[in-house]
Amino acid sequence: MTLTPDGAGASSTVIARNFLVGVTPGSALVHHLAWTNAMIKQWSANAGSPGQKLYFTVGDLAPNVSYAVHKGGSTLLTLNSGETGRIAFSDVAGSTNGVHYSVEPDLQTFVQRGPNGFVISWTGGWLQRATTLSPPNWQNVPMTNGQFSIRINPFEPMEFFRTGVGP
């Protein structure tokens, strides 16, 4: 990227992002980056010509979490961020019109009835429980070794559960 005084104006702030873009052949315009939310990354891209292949690498993601990649509001694919907290994917431009992309956690939670109660399973991130929602008293459910399921005793007092990623 070349930033000149003509392109930057009288005053500019440049913020580095853990985001790489490649294109073959030619060039493309990437704009409207929204990196303010620790969970969701968004941007728009205009290919220089139809049929170009765009390559994206998105970092600053929570490690070992399933992320949905959206293109124009529809799910393009789902990838796991692995230990590096990074995903990489490519797309072929159908036109030179702007296309909105976003990456966000693809967390799914499942509840199944078992012989000794219920089992809650989730696809990544953390699980929290609370015994009241007014006010909520969310507490992390202790996990070890990447555990993504727990058994719930139906005879315990009422509990509420939620999943998420990040701190």
pLDDT in tens, the chain (167 residues): 666 777 666 777 778 889 999 999 999 999 999 987 667 899 999 999 999 999 999 999 888 888 999 999 899 999 999 899 999 999 999 999 999 999 998 877 888 888 888 888 887 777 888 988 999 889 988 876 667 888 888 777 788 988 877 65
Q: Report how far residue 127's alpha carbon sits from residue 141's, in angstroms, rounded to the nearest whole number.
A: 6
Q: Report how far residue 151's alpha carbon sits from residue 31's, in angstroms, rounded to the nearest whole number.
A: 46
Residues 20 and 96 in one domain: yes
Query: Looking at residue 127, what is its pLDDT?
Result: 86
- Domains: count for the chain: 2
Domain final position from 87, 105, 123: 105
Q: Any idea of the CA torsion for 4, 90, 69, 14, to the nearest 10 degrees?
A: -10
Q: Report the candidate in 118, 115, 112 with the shortest Cα–Cα distance to residue 159.
A: 118
Q: Report how far residue 86's alpha carbon sits from residue 56's, in angstroms, rounded to the nearest whole number.
A: 10
Domain final position from 67, 87, 105: 105
Helix (H) or strand (E) holding 6: helix 5-8
Residues 16 and 93 in one domain: yes
CB atoms within 10 A of CB 68: 15
Residues 62 and 24 in one domain: yes
Residues 94 and 61 in one domain: yes
Residues 94 and 113 in one domain: no
Summarised one tens digit per residue, pLDDT across range 51-72 is: 999 999 999 988 888 899 999 9
Residues 113 and 101 in one domain: no
Query: Looking at residue 14, what is its pLDDT?
Result: 76
Residues 97 and 145 in one domain: no
Token pair 């999943």 is found at 163
Residues 92 and 139 in one domain: no
Residues 130 and 151 in one domain: yes
Q: What are the C-alpha distances in Å from 64 to residues 72, 113, 143?
A: 25, 27, 15
Q: Report how far residue 97's alpha carbon sits from residue 71's, in angstroms, rounded to the nearest whole number.
A: 13
Residues 141 and 82 in one domain: no
Residues 34 and 90 in one domain: yes
Query: Looking at residue 2, what is its pLDDT?
Result: 67
User: What is the residue range of 52's domain?
Assistant: 5-105
What pTM does this model have?
Answer: 0.69
Residues 66 and 82 in one domain: yes
Query: Looking at residue 144, what is its pLDDT?
Result: 64
